[in-house]
Structure 1
Amino acid sequence: MKTKYIVSFCLAAILSAAGCDTDPIYYSEVTPSTFYDSKDNVWQRFYRPFTHWRWYVASDNPKWNLQELGTDEMCLPTRGSDWYNGGVYQQMHHHQFTATLSNLYNGWYGFAMGVALCWDTWEDLNTYVDFDAMGFEAGTKESMRAQLDALAVSFYKDGLDLFGGVPLYTTTHSDVKARSTAPETFAFIDSLLKVAIPNLPVKTTLGATENGTINRAAGAALLAQLYFNADAWTGVDRFADCATLCRDIIDGKYGKYALDDDWTNIFGFHNETCPEIIWSVPSENSKLETDGGYYSTMQHYNTKSFLGGIDAGANNGYCLTPSLKPKGELYAFKLGKPYSKFEETDIRKQPYVFTGNGTYRGMFIAGKLVNPLDGGVCYGNREYNGDTITMVDQVAYFSQLGTNYSSADELPSTIATAEENSGIRLMKRSPIPTYEERDIRYNPDIPIIRLAEIYYMLAECELRVGNKADAATLINKVRQRYFTGGNDPNPVTAANLDKYRMLDEWMIEFIGEGRRRTDLVRWGAYVTEDWWDHTASNDEKENRYPIHETILSSNNLLEQNPGW
């Protein structure tokens, strides 16, 4: 690590044409031996790979795009002249992947750079910091090492999920490597976690503040996720091992956590103390700010007028895949139709409204966008210019009825035929306050792992071995908080729980959280099932993305995934 203050050098370059002396003069220099002179600087170095992680998982669109677009859950349709973007989002929806697809570059770069930063940080800390001499609490060095290993694991796991086997490094000083196989990558991740988990800190107080630290439960959850998807990633079933870890996490073996009775606490403005969150990206107004990475691309251009006037630029892109045909009938596909899968009495299924004092209700931007509290209106400025926008659970050129189309029967409904009000929008990660309470904007942390996921993983493991009643009980423990008095009109039962209901439950609980593709791949549904404007290819190569051509050209030892 070596950085120099070189303003004088820049000035010399500018003045060289005038014949001035161009030799650089360094007014100060920071080297490893001088930088690590305080605990604060040591912690600053330790957190560097975490700043990349927060960008990668909570700010950068491509990773979210790779997990959500091309699934039955989300889409980014072409809206008139908006969002065609060279056809890239239509390609994603139809699984027409190529090695030039822009999202794929950041998909690889994001995880690979994260790994490199983890190892680079550890090398600096291990070489230049005397933890005992500087008065660090005993075990700090070991905890830092364990957290960096676990963070590297989270990056490697994403690489395995998206691309299959990847090059495996434990240092920044080795030669460039070729890709390892998927089983080798899996085993490498497994071994790192088993060493790291016992050295991770334990959350001993229920509701203690989360600050991005990788606690022991987060490490155990990462290992559970690895085993949960082992069959899809390597062809080896590890569901029993996943179930054991999930039971132990739920039972408190790895720290104190609990399901939250109020779902808004999980995503709300003070969610750093939510007992359900196992790992999250910290965010705070005017400090480390993030909105989860999709607000600006999701919401209508004028949504801020409906939300209470806060300055929140939006570009009217993403939406849920539609449930309804242009005539209003429900599509017959088993998968998808996300908005219709929420029960009408589900308290999340109401228009989002900020109700003051850091509270809100509803999870969707849907229906006629007139704020019931302050009368704020979202007006159209494309097909419905000047009119109050009504968000519909449909995608079609309704504004062209009577001109280009004589009836709704003739309206096409495709990824290429959306209007400005097409598709329901999500307000889940990083809800928006009104202008009056703008000081809490960006205060919600972004949950990455939460206890509900552990319940659902265990439920699916039980389902896979035929214990449907136990699986239903686990899912219903989570579902009950969404209905007044716990009166769920459609609880999961042993009779109605199958592959499709399980996939529906994953979608309902984790919609928009950047995981849908992984769930579909695990169930063999990503390439075998139809959904809105998407016909199954039955081509298993699509379960792994091609590696971007720029990545391939940077390392001639890398080989493209088969078939791409």
Structure 2
Amino acid sequence: MKRTILKFSFIALSVLMVMSCHDDLDQLPIDPDSVTEQDVFANANQAKGALAKLYASLALTGQQGPAGQPDISGIDEGFSQYTRMLYNLNELTTDHAVVGWGDPGLPDLHGMSWSSNNDFTEAMYYRLAQEVSFTNSFISNATLLTDPVVEQYIAEARFLRAFAYYNLMDLYGSVPLSTEISTDLPEQATRSEIFDFVEQELLDIQNTLGNDGSVEYGRVDEVAAWALLSKLYLNAEVFKGEARYNEAVEFSEKVINSTYSINTNDANGNGSAYDELFLADNNVNGAQNEFIFTLNFDGLQSQTFGGTTFLTHASIGGNMDALEYGVNSGWAGLRTTKSLVNKFDNSDEELNESFTTLSDWAIIGDATPNEWSAPDTDMYEVEANIYQLFVTLTDGQMKFRKDNSWDVNYGGTDGVLELNSSTNINVDAGRYLVTLDLTNDTYSLESIYNYLPDARAMFYTDGQSLEIEDIPPFEQGFAVTKFKNIDSNGNQGSDNTGNFVDTDYPVIRLPEIYLNYAEATLRGGNGNQATAISLINEIRERAYGNTNANITGSDLTLEFILDERSRELYWEGQRRTDLIRYNLFTTDGYLWPFKGDVQNGVSVPEYRTLFPIPNDLLSINPNLRQNEGY
């Protein structure tokens, strides 16, 4: 799929653009009038090429890659790519991210102060509207072919249309509903009506899509329909105003019982099978086994400044070496807040449980827990003459000493120890792994966050502060190293210039459905709690590499599931939807740094749970009404 479907026919692309010149959602594509639909839909094989564009239009942005002939005008082409906009609207507006760039309208997203003229909320609407337009055109023309396989292609197109409407419903609420080509100005359907349409489409096509696991990687099969229904029913109270948790459990179970499985292949041998999900060879390294719906990227064949190229480059800055992540430069934009970091938190005591031998060496000083008074804070012997301790320190000074006595002590500077020195070691406040190495007469204070036992905590901390006092400097906020353009053998992706990334983007993967099942069960669905616990422990065993962090029945709460979703799925376009479902997105029930554009966070008006309908469309179509508050 990565090498075939995404190498789509540019003729197919062009004709779909021609056929999209109608008012499905009042979308505004550019029209490269070049060929006719007869050229594309001459037979089933040609139709499959056109089907490729339906997938590719969610991954790419135009007709020549990465820029130059955009599908959508009025915004930088790279900005308009679907997953880049999904990140901006569903992650940047939450506790998961801030961005230091000042492009007009972008800081307003993490400040939750966007207007009805925001370029980014408009770009996402047009991108999804274009997908609806493309799919309607495809369905209309493919229906004329008699080859039986075309029925499956049409079902895939209907899935992609339902997926686009799922996003439109989630992000914008009530939107026009169009299923055929028309020049009439469409009426605005209610959010409930959009819900019903998506539900019925998915139920109708589930038996026409390819059987479980039978299609090429990157195309959807029947399991994708079940997975999207699982998501739809989990959010039914928000989308439709009625609980559908039994159905959420039912379709989650169908996915769970499918051939898809959690990846446990630690292909790069680093002790975790989680990071393989976000490497350049995630289409073959085992990660693909849990990918239910992906958008495929190739640094040579499908170039874009969105997708995982955006997520990888934009997350690199400060002291980070871009080459270690398989790219040629960092764009120094995206970081995360302490609210996400703290979800991986283990206390100093819990981390020190990994040590077994208490030593006669300790730390003392006004930076240490007991300041200059006894008792000293004891360290642990990890091997001969090497001592360590996880500890929270404050601004100040410290020294190492033996047996709570000044007879033998060490100070020092720049990592070098000085025996019985009058020089104290200067400390900046933070949480550290403190190491005393008497084999080399050195010491070190390393960020504790580099040693969290949960392998999903993928943060870069050197030179980065946990606290964010001012957003633009990249060094404020931890950097996220989740997406990389290196494969399981440490090799760079296929584009040797380092510009474009190979890593595929998992739109829906199996652990999300595990968490859907658990949450729907707790919210009253007819699932089994023991099964929910087992599913979550399967996720956590991969994260920790053992059963040490497994949960029991008393741990399984809705709050725990929300935090586990954050730990497992951060930066994958889920967070805003989750917070809205928990009534935490706009309220003061949960505050995070710069929520409401205030450093410590404030509540914002409830209407922010929806984005505005683009003003241009309101002026074109009098049938449309703007969302409340805009």
State whether TM-score is above 0.5: yes
Paired position in structure 2 for 1:547: 613
Given the alignment of the two structures, is residue 429 of structure 1 paired with residue 483 of structure 2, yes or no?
Answer: yes
Q: Equivalent of 1:105, from 122, 127, 142?
A: 122
Cα deviation 1:146-196 (Å, max 9, x = unaligned): 111110000000000001121111111251112111111111111111111
AA aligned opposite 2:103:
N
TM-fit CA distance, 1:316: 0.7
Distance 1:456 1:318 in 2: 26
SS in structure 2 opposite 1:481?
helix
Q: Equivalent of 1:487, from 547, 555, 559?
A: 547
1:326-405 map, 5 Å: 328=429, 344-349=452-457, 363-364=458-459, 366-368=460-462, 390-395=463-468
Q: Equivalent of 1:522, from 576, 581, 586?
A: 581
SS in structure 2 opposite 1:288?
coil
Paired position in structure 2 for 1:379: none
- Confirm or deny: 8 A CA contact 2:299 2:494 kept in the other structure: yes
TM-fit CA distance, 1:269: 3.2
Distance 2:157 2:604 in 1: 39
1:36-435 map, 5 Å: 36-37=41-42, 40-55=45-60, 61-77=84-100, 83-86=101-104, 88-127=105-144, 130-132=145-147, 139-173=148-182, 175-204=184-213, 210-252=216-258, 256-261=259-264, 262-273=273-284, 274-289=288-303, 291-292=307-308, 293-300=310-317, 303-305=320-322, 307=324, 310-322=326-338, 328=429, 344-349=452-457, 363-364=458-459, 366-368=460-462, 390-395=463-468, 413=469, 416-432=470-486
Distance 2:274 2:448 in 1: 19
| 490-499 or 175-184: bigger deviation | 490-499
Of structures 1 and 2, the larger Rg is shown by 2
Structure 1 residues 240 and 435: alpha-carbon distance in aligned structure 2, compared to 1, 3 A threshold: closer
Cα deviation 1:197-240 (Å, max 9, x = unaligned): 110001347xxx85321110001111111111110112110111
Structure with greater proportional strand content: 2
TM-fit CA distance, 1:303: 3.9
Distance 2:578 2:121 in 1: 19
SS in structure 2 opposite 1:279?
strand
| 520-529 or 541-550: bigger deviation | 541-550
Task: Report the number of matched residues.
Answer: 456
Paired position in structure 2 for 1:80: none
Paired position in structure 1 for 2:378: none
Identity %: 24
- Confirm or deny: 8 A CA contact 1:265 1:271 kept in the other structure: yes
AA aligned opposite 2:452:
E
- Confirm or deny: 8 A CA contact 1:190 1:223 kept in the other structure: yes
- Confirm or deny: 8 A CA contact 1:210 1:280 kept in the other structure: no
Paired position in structure 2 for 1:375: none
Distance 1:201 1:547 in 2: 35
| 287-296 or 419-428: bigger deviation | 287-296
Q: Which runs of 5+ in 2 are unaligned?
A: 1-10, 16-32, 62-79, 265-272, 343-393, 396-428, 432-446, 596-600
Distance 1:508 1:550 in 2: 38
Distance 2:450 2:246 in 1: 30
SS in structure 2 opposite 1:193?
helix
AA aligned opposite 1:117:
F
Q: Equivalent of 2:572, from 502, 509, 513?
A: 513
Distance 1:214 1:50 in 2: 10
TM-fit CA distance, 1:472: 2.8
Cα deviation 1:65-96 (Å, max 9, x = unaligned): 0001121111114xxxxx2334x344222322
- Confirm or deny: 8 A CA contact 2:245 2:524 kept in the other structure: no
- Confirm or deny: 8 A CA contact 1:211 1:281 kept in the other structure: no
SS in structure 2 opposite 1:391?
coil
Distance 1:498 1:557 in 2: 44
Structure with greater proportional helix content: 1
TM-fit CA distance, 1:53: 1.6
- Confirm or deny: 8 A CA contact 2:44 2:150 kept in the other structure: no
Structure 1 residues 476 and 173: alpha-carbon distance in aligned structure 2, compared to 1, 3 A threshold: same
SS in structure 2 opposite 1:178?
coil
Structure 1 residues 511 and 305: alpha-carbon distance in aligned structure 2, compared to 1, 3 A threshold: closer
Cα deviation 1:1-23 (Å, max 9, x = unaligned): 9979xxxxxxxxxxxxxxxxxxx
Distance 1:436 1:268 in 2: 10
TM-fit CA distance, 1:29: 7.9
Distance 1:516 1:507 in 2: 7
1:17-32 map, 5 Å: 30-32=35-37
SS in structure 1 opposite 2:494?
helix
Q: Which runs of 5+ in 1 are unaligned?
A: 5-27, 78-82, 133-138, 331-338, 350-362, 369-389, 396-412
| 258-267 or 193-202: bigger deviation | 258-267
Cα deviation 1:19-59 (Å, max 9, x = unaligned): xxxxxxxxx98444445456543222222222212237976
SS in structure 2 opposite 1:551?
helix
Cα deviation 1:335-361 (Å, max 9, x = unaligned): xxxx99998112344xxxxxxxxxxxx
Distance 2:106 2:299 in 1: 32
TM-fit CA distance, 1:509: 0.1
- Confirm or deny: 8 A CA contact 1:298 1:316 kept in the other structure: yes
| 439-448 or 537-546: bigger deviation | 439-448
Distance 2:330 2:430 in 1: 30
- Confirm or deny: 8 A CA contact 2:486 2:492 kept in the other structure: no
AA aligned opposite 2:547:
N
Given the alignment of the two structures, is residue 439 of structure 1 paired with residue 462 of structure 2, yes or no?
Answer: no
Structure 1 residues 213 and 58: alpha-carbon distance in aligned structure 2, compared to 1, 3 A threshold: farther
Distance 1:48 1:98 in 2: 32
| 97-106 or 293-302: bigger deviation | 293-302
TM-fit CA distance, 1:267: 2.5
Structure 1 residues 204 and 470: alpha-carbon distance in aligned structure 2, compared to 1, 3 A threshold: closer
Given the alignment of the two structures, is residue 461 of structure 1 paired with residue 520 of structure 2, yes or no?
Answer: yes
AA aligned opposite 2:565:
W
SS in structure 1 opposite 2:121?
helix
- Confirm or deny: 8 A CA contact 2:335 2:480 kept in the other structure: yes
TM-fit CA distance, 1:62: 2.4
TM-fit CA distance, 1:540: 2.2
Structure 1 residues 491 and 199: alpha-carbon distance in aligned structure 2, compared to 1, 3 A threshold: same
The alignment's TM-score, normalised by the length of structure 1, stands at 0.73
